[in-house]
Structure 1
Amino acid sequence: MSTLPKLRLEHVTKQFSVRGSDETFTALDDVSIDLAAGEFLVLVGPSGCGKSTLLDLLGGLSEPTSGRILLDGRSVSGPGLDRGIVFQQYALLPWRTARANVEFGLEAKGLSKKQGRVLADDYLDLVGLAGFGDRYPHELSGGMKQRVAIARSLAFDPEVLLMDEPFAALDAQTRESLQDELLRIWRETGKTILFITHGIDEAIYLGQRVAVLTSRPGRVKTIVDIDIDRHVEDVRSGEAFRQYRHVIWSLLHSEVERARDLELGAATAGVEHV
């Protein structure tokens, strides 16, 4: 008897109309991925492969041209509190304190002010910001702002946490620290996480599996199972980590080369028709 996946992308294709013509542009083509409950899956791909388009679809901000997205077997048909989203830019409300930013999502669930405050403080504690509830975003570092954003997304207890390159704007040391924090939070909460990144090392360090997308239109090229011991010191320098990095780099490099060849071909064809 098969277990129903927590999140299923079923032959998802997304096309856009090209302004001023009858042509369509295909951003994603026939993408199928299953995430089990509690799984941490990372999506990596070359620039322009449709990663952010996919997040918009998962968040219910747009609809697939064809195919389906299912959460617990139900079609995703719009935004909902069953999905929490963390963006690269923190998207915090500058006039609200850290605590009030976390409370923002809870207000939609109808919690009382007292309940919301207690829960917000609990989640600020979870992300390592106990005692910072009264600080405003401009009083926080970039890493602290992203912790608030994560706390806000977790506080209303979503079924799935969607993360769109959330650490890309941070310095390397802060980024690695938050990667460790995110793994700790994931283990403590058991959340299902889909994490989008363009960083190979980040994908390997965080993911139980890494789905590699092709260059445009985005398709699933392969899914790599990651088996490393993240508790050893400097795991990123270990032989297993280096091997995974080489495998994923090779998969992505061939896609970047293919995209470049297609662009050169299109440019050459344009010159010939002039």
Structure 2
Amino acid sequence: MTTKIEISGVGKTFPVRGGGAFTALRDTTLDIAEGEFLVVVGPSGCGKSTLLDLLGGLTRPTTGRILLDGAEITGPALDRGVVFQQYALLPWRSALRNVEFGLEAKGLGRRERAETARHYLDLVGLSGFEDRYPHELSGGMKQRVAIARSLAYDPGVLLMDEPFAALDAQTRDSLQDELLRIWERTGKTVVFITHGIDEAVYLGGRVAVLTSRPGRVKEVVDIDLGPRHETEDLRSSPEFAEHRHRVWSLLRDEVRAARRLDVPRPRREAVGLG
């Protein structure tokens, strides 16, 4: 398969207030195929969100490089869409106008923006909610708007940082199925960060397990479960349990190692860790 993203020997170090440095990632290497749904898991503080920030061009590697379609990522661009855990919707804009936001940067006219935004709101199941403002939407609906906004300007890569973590279990399961349907229909390359092993196994075609801090790729697990959302009892199947056990076995020692670390962790909002 064609390689979409090449992460080669990437390390990321942040300066710490008062002197010294904090290494979030070290010698991280991973290839991601075009059209792949890759999930990244790891213990808290291992650099998962830092990796996503690097893929989004929100920060630059200290060492190594990241290539997208053969070109080095040097900053944010419309070829990558990002969905965060906290929605990041503009409260003064309706759902339609929030989805139109990225289309404005592409220079589309008003009519084309509105038609495109309506198409993607329909894709995420929000047809009829175009005029609702964020405060009028549930958490699941807000996340659907955020996904529609990221898809609307047609990026080749969708980066998702624990987008369902704040939702209740029923809504989370529903949106997982919705996301898989969208991925199958659009063919986007998806990189999805999560703490949840069940979520990782259910969504991912492959699951990349990171080590404890400083993070690097410990192992990539191939997941072969067939069509996820077409099998109601998939999560209770022996195959699912086998994959789940494999991922947990890889994570177990890393979680223990992370708990033993006695280096104070800088605040994520200050340095972009996660």
- TM-score (norm: length of structure 2): 0.93
Aligned to 1:18: 16
Q: Which amino acid aligns with 1:29?
A: R
Question: Could you tell me which residue of structure 1 aligns to residue 242 of structure 2?
Answer: 243
Give ranges in structure 2 of 5+ residues lacking alignment.
265-274
The answer to whether the aligner puts 1:217 opposite 2:197 as a matched pair is no
Structure 2 residue 27 is matched with structure 1 residue 30: yes
| 1:270 matched residue in structure 2 | none
Secondary structure in 2 matching 1:6? strand
1:39 aligns with 2:36: yes
Is this contact kept in 2: 1:4–1:72, CA < 8 A?
no
CA contact (8 A) 1:163 1:194 kept: yes
Q: Secondary structure at the match of 1:216?
A: coil
- Structure 1 position 150 matched with structure 2 position 147: yes
Q: Which residue of 1 aligns with 2:185?
A: 188
Q: Which has the higher contact order (CA 8 A, sep 6+)?
A: 2
String of CA shifts for 1:92-121, please: whole Å, max 9, x gaps.
000100000000000000000000000000
* Distance across 1 between alignment mates of 2:92 and 2:260: 48
Q: What is the 5 A alignment of 1:158-237?
A: 158-229=155-226, 230=228, 231-237=230-236
Output the amino acid matched with 2:238. E
1:48-127 map, 5 Å: 48-127=45-124
Whether the 8 Å CA contact 2:43–2:258 is kept in 1: the answer is no
Rg comparison, structure with higher value: 1
> 2:169 is aligned with what amino acid?
A
TM-score by length of structure 1 reads 0.93
Distance in 2, matches of 1:180 and 1:256, equals 28
Which deviations, in whole Å up to 9, do the C-alpha atoms of 1:158-196 show, x marking residues without a partner? 010000000000000000000000000000000000000
Paired with 1:226 and 1:52, the residues of 2 have a C-alpha distance of 22
Equivalent pair of 2:103/2:113 in contact (CA under 8 Å) = yes
Aligned residues: 262
Q: Give the SS at the match of 2:160.
A: strand
- Partner of 1:63, secondary structure, is coil
Partners of 2:58 and 2:75 within 8 A in 1:
yes
Q: Distance in 1 between matches of 2:243 and 2:148?
A: 31
Instruction: Output the CA distance in 2 between the equivalents of 1:29 and 1:109.
Output: 36
Sequence identity, in percent?
71
Whole-Å separation in 2 of the counterparts to 1:12 and 1:222: 16
Map 1:255-274; keep pairs closer than 5 Å: 255-263=254-262
TM-aligned CA deviation for residue 250 of structure 1: 1.4
**Given that residues 44 and 258 in structure 2 are in contact (C-alpha distance below 8 angstroms), is that contact kept between their aligned partners in structure 1?**
no
Q: Find the residue that maps to 2:91 and give its secondary structure.
A: coil
Contact 1:43 1:211 in 2 (8 A): yes
CA contact (8 A) 1:4 1:73 kept: no
Structure-2 change in CA distance of 1:4 and 1:227 (3 Å): closer
Aligned to 1:128, the other structure's residue is in SS state coil
Match of 2:248, SS state, is helix
| Counterpart residue identity of residue 178, structure 1 | L
Q: Give runs of ≥4 in structure 1 deviating > 4 Å.
A: none
Q: Which amino acid is the alignment partner of residue 5 of structure 1?
A: T
Give ranges in structure 1 of 5+ residues lacking alignment: 268-274
